[in-house]
Amino acid sequence: MTKRIRIFLLLPLLTGCYDTELVFEDQYRVVVEAYLYVDRDISKIYISSMISFGEDSTGGEKITDARVLLGRDNTNWTFTHDDSVPGTYYLDESPALVPGDTFRLTVELDDAILTAETVIPETPAAVTMSSGTIYIPKVETMMDFRSIEMPDPVELTWNNPDADYYFFNIQNIESYPLPIMPDPPVNSPFARGRFIFQMVTRPTNDNFYSISVRDLTHFGTHRIVVTRVNEEYVYLYNSQDQDTRELNEPYTNIENGLGIFTAFNSDTLYLEVVPVYN
């Protein structure tokens, strides 16, 4: 039996329209999304069936009857299904996540056993900031804003002799941040303080990153979460950047299934963006 293309999606769906019809063997696959964060409880993982695309599109159903185990050495922890959120499983008691430890995930269904392993990353290397504060003139009109001299970017640097991968989550954490841009439209979220700046970078194995002042939208305190990631996450991230005409399945490290099981280790810095009034 044959059906049209079946692929699983973990990141936002890309759509396209093409005349070519591709045909693959019919199959049923299970999709797992499981992430371990150092210093955080293992609150949930997600299990569903993959999505089929075509005239007979099916799939995407939440799987609620799996037996899910997290193992380290000879110890196992059993997940509980969250009936209020179908397809979601959680641990009542989370194990300590120690850098260098290997964890295995097992998902048991009636006719299949899915497995995966990941290693807890080391603590991120200490990141040095060229400055912890940026001073930007506060002006009243766009004409004045275009003429001001912007300060230099903030340079983040760290030792990375083994070319490990990192990404940065940069977020303004003020409750009512003051916009940098003058004269926001009355109906814009900038004017009402509802827009909260956040930027998540691509994974990089460099030893530096620059925060451009022109990327920032508001004054105030910015939290910078520095996260060290494993290569399986990088493979998954990069596999999302395909041309929609390729329709390839994203990377998976789930044996006998699809999806991702990986771990993160983070540290936090803070950056102050301060208005200067003439």
**Sequential pLDDT tens for the chain (278 residues):** 333 323 333 443 333 444 444 444 445 689 999 999 998 888 789 999 865 444 444 457 899 999 999 999 999 999 999 999 999 999 998 899 999 999 999 999 988 999 999 999 999 999 999 999 999 988 877 777 777 888 999 999 999 999 999 999 999 999 988 888 776 555 655 554 555 678 999 999 999 999 998 889 899 999 999 999 999 999 999 887 655 555 567 799 999 999 999 999 999 999 999 999 87
Residue 185's pLDDT is what? 58
Residue 176's pLDDT is what? 87
- For residue 220, give the DSSP letter: E
pTM, to two decimals: 0.79
CA distance 167 to 205: 9
Q: With the C-alpha atoms ordered 53, 57, 63, 66, is the resulting torsion angle positive or negative?
A: negative
Nearest residue to 46 (alpha-carbon basis) of 28, 58, 30: 30
Nearest residue to 273 (alpha-carbon basis) of 225, 226, 227, 223: 223
Percent helix, strand and coil across the chain, each rounded to 5?
10, 40, 50
Element spanning 231, H or E: helix 231-239
Give Rg (Cα) of the chain: 23
- For residue 9, give the DSSP letter: -
Lookup: tokens for 65: 């009857």
Residue 154's pLDDT is what? 96
Lookup: tokens for 242: 């395909």
